[in-house]
Amino acid sequence: MAATDTVRILLPDNRNYEIRIGSGLLDAASSWQGLPKAGAAVIVSNETVAPLYAERLKSQLRAVYPRVDLVVLPDGEQHKDWASLNRICDHLLGEALDRRTVLFALGGGVIGDMTGFAAAIYMRGVPFVQVPTTLLAQVDSSVGGKTAINHPLGKNMLGAFYQPERVIADLDSLDSLPDRELRAGLAEIIKYGPIADAGFLCWIEDNLDALLARDKAVLGYAVRRSCEIKADVVGQDEREQGLRAILNFGHTIGHAIEAGLGYGAWLHGEAVACGMVLAADLSQRKGLMPTAFVGRLRALIERAGLPVRPPKLGAERYLQLMRVDKKAEAGAIRFVLIEELGRAGLHAVPDALIAETLAAYGAA
Ligand code: NAD
Ligand code: MG
């Protein structure tokens, strides 16, 4: 069994919190001690995750809170919407739960983002705890305090910055995760190498087979190092005034793929993986990185079983989709490009150069 690791997120105004990473954390009493006192805890989960883990979390929380409720939402990105958010609020108000009530998000990024947003707005803010059960949620979405729901006109367009009290990432919950979801989470782990830590990129290359085989100690290190890097970035730039944007490496083209194919066709991590290959190619075309880097990243992503060939949507459609990206400013599409291994920055890229990259990968 892997030992428990703790990563601290340091933020102003007493909002520091811990990310605990390890095996057996769901069933460990210490995971749930020292949280804000309240008359009630409400677990928010979905139809897939609740049957697997909700009873175990409930029985732990019963030792701490006089009352423990469970709200089960439908599963899927298409349900990250007003209707689901309302179901959480309906429960809280319907049961007359007060402003000290603690919410527990038990699930992947969809449940985490929605529960966090509900916590941010219920009675102007109640405490919440992230219990991420996907690899993607453990290395990315549960950390950093971005919460949101989707709107028919745009993904994550309604939300708030709102930090959790604690994150409990139990590596054992990954045992039940489908392979495809595991690989999608690996994409976000790979992302942290080129943008922040060249040594971590080498480590992932050396340990990829063990990661795919779900070796707990190796997964534990990957989750910890990913959280450390994200914690460091978020601690410097909580509200994305600048630096935090580097976490979006691969996401500009990734979001275009997701939107262009219709959400759900490709998983987010799959789209980001392919987007990273193309963003690496742009970094090379801009003269920032050597050709060898593009091949190296592409080989790693391929080995992880993630897509490296973008869908053929046509250059015009890609450009149109990327202009609505939250990072776009005054017409120019901005990309996170790699400046040297372990360092990234935002760069405006002319349409003609983007079109060259898309054509080179058969997407134009
Ligand atoms: P998800 O929440 O949809 O989970 C993927 C699938 O796995 C779902 O069907 C889920 O029910 C299932 N699942 C979850 N845990 C499981 C387990 N332990 N065993 C078996 N099945 C399990 O998707 P995700 O990839 O976790 O998260 C994607 C979401 O996260 C997107 O909505 C994205 O916008 C958001 N996100 C947010 C941030 C942020 O900073 N807030 C960052 C990245 C992504
Ligand atoms: Mg992402």
User: Residue 253: CB partners within 8 Å, gap ≥ 6?
Assistant: 271, 274, 275, 278, 279, 310, 318, 322
Q: Does the interface predicted TM-score (ipTM) exceed 0.90?
A: yes
**201 class by beta-carbon count within 10 Å (0-12 exposed, 13-18 middle, 19+ buried):** buried
Let me know how long the chain is. 364
Catalytic residues: 124, 146, 188, 230, 240, 244, 248, 251, 255, 268
Closest CA to 193 of 135, 143, 250, 133: 250
Q: What is the pLDDT of residues 332-363, one digit of tens each?
A: 899 999 999 999 999 999 999 999 999 999 99
Main-chain phi, psi angles of 130, to 5 degrees: -95, 130
Contact call for residues 31 and 18 (beta carbons, < 8 A): no
pLDDT in the model for residue 14: 87
Residue range 195-360 in CATH 1.20.1090.10: yes
Main-chain phi, psi angles of 12, to 5 degrees: -65, 170
pLDDT in the model for residue 203: 98
Contact call for residues 290 and 335 (beta carbons, < 8 A): no
- How far apart are alpha carbons 217 and 342 in whole angstroms? 24
Give the residue ranges of the chain where pLDDT is below 50.
1
Atom number of ligand 1 nearest to Cα 47: 11
pLDDT in the model for residue 22: 98
pLDDT in the model for residue 204: 98
CA of 87 to the centre of ligand 2 (A): 26
Q: Is the CB of 49 under 6 A from ligand 1?
A: yes
Ligand 1 pocket mutation, candidates 141, 266, 326, criterion most atoms within 8 A of CB: 141
Task: Count each helix (H run) and each strand (E run) in the chain, helices first.
Answer: 12, 11
CA of 289 to the centre of ligand 2 (A): 23
- How far apart are alpha carbons 101 and 74 in whole angstroms? 23
- Fold adopted by 4-176: Rossmann fold (3.40.50)
Atom number of ligand 1 nearest to Cα 75: 11
Same fold, 4-176 and 195-360: no
Indicate which residue's Cα is closest to atom 22 of ligand 1.
177
Q: Where are the domains of the chain?
A: 4-176, 195-360
Q: Is the CB of 46 under 6 A from ligand 1?
A: yes
pLDDT in the model for residue 327: 60
Q: What is the pTM of this model?
A: 0.96
Ligand 1 pocket mutation, candidates 26, 44, 48, criterion most atoms within 8 A of CB: 48
pLDDT in the model for residue 288: 98
Q: Is the CB of 113 under 6 A from ligand 1?
A: yes
Q: DSSP readout, 314-339?
A: -HHHHHHHHHTSTT-BTTBEEEEEEE
Q: Is the CB of 72 under 6 A from ligand 1?
A: no
Closest CA to 92 of 122, 127, 128, 57: 122
